[in-house]
Amino acid sequence: MMKQSMFAFSLRKTLVLALFALLAMGACKSKKKAVQTAPAPAPVEQVQTPPPAPAATRSAEEIAAEKLENYFNSVARASSANSANQSIQETLAMFSNQETPVLIVIHEENGIKDYDEPTTIKKYLEYLKDTKKNLNYISDIRMDANGKVSELELRRK
């Protein structure tokens, strides 16, 4: 009887081991299936940054407006009448003539602009010299074919 129980014991042991092996193999297959059936991750798109844009070239109007703002400030802040007059002469060289119109917008609604009494660049520069205040900024500038300012529109700061 002893042989029989030993045989039965080892048969039982073998069956249990086989069962564990089947379960283990089944588990491995299901893991493989899970790995295989999982959708592949979407390819990561590499965002290529465009090369930096070339330095923005400024228009003649933008350059002239910047220079004029500096001239207007130097006339208004001049320490003496002589330095103000020198700045005025330098500023006038940028204009087609001393009678170039200067329009000052006092109100705008729905695209319709109301202007203060029109003046000339010469009179406006004298006004800056007398008041010692530059209360306006350039909102529009027009240039002629020679690169000189032919019309100037200002607004309150």
121 contacts 152 by C-beta, under 8 angstroms: yes
Tokens of 153: 């529109």
C-alpha to C-alpha distances, 106 to 11, 46, 74, 140, nearest whole angstrom: 107, 52, 24, 14
Per-domain boundaries in the chain: 60-156
**Strands, E, within the chain: which ranges?**
101-109, 112-115, 119-120, 136-143, 149-156
List per-residue pLDDT tens for the chain, 157 residues long: 455 555 555 767 777 777 666 666 665 554 555 555 556 666 666 666 666 666 668 888 999 999 999 999 999 999 999 999 999 999 999 999 999 999 999 999 999 999 999 999 999 999 999 999 999 999 999 999 999 999 999 998 8
At a CB cut-off of 8 Å and minimum separation 6, what does 59 contact?
A: none
64 contacts 149 by C-beta, under 8 angstroms: yes
Question: What global pTM score does this model have?
Answer: 0.64
Tokens of 19: 């069962």
C-alpha to C-alpha distances, 78 to 21, 33, 50, 124, nearest whole angstrom: 99, 85, 47, 15
Using the 8-state DSSP alphabet, how is residue 126 labeled?
H
Domain 60-156, CATH number (from 3.30.56, 3.40.1010, 3.40.30, 3.10.450): 3.10.450
**Residue 107 is which amino acid?**
H
